[in-house]
Amino acid sequence: MRWKKTITMIEAHAEGEVGRVVTGGVMDVPGRTMLDKMNHLNEVDDSLRRFCVFEPRGCAQMSTNLLFPPSREDADAGFIILQGDRAHAMSGSNSICVTTVLLETGMVPMQEPETTVHLETPAGLVAAHALCRDGKCESVTLEMVPGFVEELDIVVDVPEIGKVTTDVAFGGVYYALLDPRQIGLEISPDNARGLVDAGCRIHRELNKVLTISHPEIPEINAISYVMFVDRREDGELIGSTVLPPGRLDRSPCGTGNTARMAVRHARGEVAVGDKVTAYSVIGSAFEVELFGETTVGNKPATLSKVTGRGWIHGLHQIGVDPSDPYPDGYLLSDTWGDAFDLLN
């Protein structure tokens, strides 16, 4: 081989959602903090994200996590999430993947029966408490960054769909949360394509008409995802997050359920100390606990814990030959949805 770039990754998933973790080949990204590095990836040089995420080296149904030494003394590692549309500030499932990889590979020493790993993300510090036995990270409980409601019951007129009512809340990134029955759908594997198509339309329209900004991190200033929320026949929570440019989160979604708990608390549906089980479109589950209240800027906020499991399922190495005509990758709308908007 005569590769001019080589990146080594460990393949992992958290409750079905794939989160690759880069363990070699990326020396650094400009910027002092994780937020600075994320902004550089999104605003200055996007080539590393495209190289890792786009075809032929990546695929739509995954994220890639970049590991870095932390810039904070109270963190063990820093990381940034690369996805199909951009680099993102926080993800619960990816935090579980990163924690599992750090501990099971020995990059962070594992202590049984519990190891706490502090992760620096662009959205803030996340404490990951891992239950460990016989060298295995059996589950991870994340103390998520504070969640808060931006606005409830926003009505937006979406082209080809009509008027929908949604709540906008923050759970590590901004979410629009809405009941899919408004658009004649329920959360099930059979409806995955319909949920994605509708969610992408709603996502684009909301970001056109809404102006939002995190009160303490102004660089986080757009809705990242639409999350459809409902209940199963047994009364348990179910949710499905649409990730641009067009796929469903396979996990129950940690940041989404953090935002959802903030909304439910604002509506008086949950109180501090309440625990719920949140299911995904494929039936996997996170345990979610509302354990406190705080403020973010002048906004009342909630503190949530999210518990899930991660598994390492492979080792992976990607590279590029100097003669490869697709060094930055490519997208096609058959699997990536409205892909061409991302290339312009």
Catalytic site residues? 91, 253
Take residue 298 and report the two structure tokens written for it: 């002048």
Strands 237-243 vs 275-279: parallel, antiparallel or unpaired: parallel
**Distance of alpha carbon 323 from alpha carbon 330, whole angstroms:** 16
| Residue given tokens 């590692």 in the structure block | 77
Taking the C-alpha atoms of residue 21 and residue 62, their distance in angstroms, rounded to an integer, is 11
Q: What is the DSSP letter of 272?
A: T
Residue count of the chain, please give it.
344
Q: Is the distance from CB of 84 to CB of 270 less than 8 angstroms?
A: no
> What is the DSSP annotation of 162-223?
EEEEEEEEESSSEEEEE-GGGGT--SSGGGHHHHHHHHHHHHHHHHHH-----SS-TT--SE
Report yes or no: 18 and 282 within 8 Å, Cβ to Cβ. Answer: no
Tokens coding 69: 């030494």
How far apart CA 101 and CA 2 sit, in angstroms, is 29
CA distances from 90 to 37, 81, 101, 184 (A): 13, 7, 17, 30
State in Å, rounded, how far the first CA of the chain is from the last one.
32
Q: Is the peptide bond before 189 cis (omega within 30 degrees of 0)?
A: no
Read off the tokens for 85.
Answer: 């549309």
Residues pairing with 88 in the sheet: 81
